[in-house]
Amino acid sequence: MYGSNLHQKNQQPHRSAASTARVPILTNLLRASLITILGLLPVGCGGDASTESQATETPTTDTASTEVPSTEVVDIWTPAAMGAVPTLAARLEKSGNPDELDPTFGVSALEFAADFGHIDAMKTILEAGGTVNVRNRSRGTALIGAAFLGRLECVKFLLEAGADPTAMNNDRLTALTALDVPWEYTQPIIELLQMPLDRAVLENGRRACRPIIEAALK
């Protein structure tokens, strides 16, 4: 999820450290997590979690040959990330595939829910038939994302549900090594995700996750 660095030439030698920190670190996990949640923009092809997307009705005839198969993508990712469980449950029923990846970023609804710390949403996804070890487009898992962001309760829940602590993404990052990603690479991702998560909370969460993940690896 959060592996390799993207190096850029420094054309402004006096640019502040805060400005430099905002340069996106495009690792596999970042690419999998580049979303604008919480009402800023829709995730994938869906809309705001509080409203169902409204398709424009077009006149049709009774002739069977004029019918066109539906290509609608049901947005299960936004309500998962926002913890909007009733909307999520309704959309999961309509979608029929709780493991479907967001068409824009290639991330599962389970991973969005884990990244944002919504256990009830995670439960809803698994109860609908979701796979606890579902992989994103970069081979990352919800457990790796939860560990990276110090989501202790989500890490506990996923491990209890059978998440594989040895799973590795394309950058060879696991849930355990995700705990060691430096703050300077973590901060830009949190900012891009619009998360109200400060450094102290994240690092405390990571420290609490470590013995649990280490125990699961034994």
CATH of the domain at 189: 1.25.40.20
pLDDT at position 115 is 95
- Please say whether the beta carbons of 102 and 113 come within 8 A: no
In a domain, 124, yes or no: yes
pLDDT at position 41 is 31
**Residue 91 and residue 96: Cα distance in Å, rounded?**
8
In a domain, 197, yes or no: yes
In a domain, 39, yes or no: yes
In a domain, 64, yes or no: no
In a domain, 111, yes or no: yes
CA of 124: how far to CAs of 15, 58, 128, 154, 163, in Å?
45, 34, 6, 13, 16
pLDDT at position 96 is 86
- Please say whether the beta carbons of 119 and 155 come within 8 A: no
Beta bridge partners of 108: 101
Q: Where are the alpha helices (DSSP H) in the chain?
A: 17-21, 28-33, 77-82, 85-95, 109-115, 119-127, 142-148, 152-160, 175-178, 183-192, 199-217
In a domain, 62, yes or no: no
Instruction: Specify the pTM.
Output: 0.70
Burial of 90: CB neighbours in 10 Å, binned 0-12, 13-18, 19+ = middle
pLDDT at position 123 is 98
pLDDT at position 73 is 86
In a domain, 67, yes or no: no
pLDDT at position 48 is 36
Residue 91: which domain range?
Answer: 24-47+73-217
Could you give the number of structural domains in the chain?
A: 1
Per-residue pLDDT of the chain (218 residues), as tens digits, is 444 332 333 333 334 333 333 333 334 444 444 333 333 233 333 333 333 333 333 334 344 444 444 567 899 999 999 999 999 999 999 998 999 999 988 999 999 999 999 999 999 999 999 999 999 999 999 999 999 999 999 999 999 999 999 999 999 999 999 999 999 999 998 998 888 899 999 999 999 999 999 999 99
In a domain, 19, yes or no: no
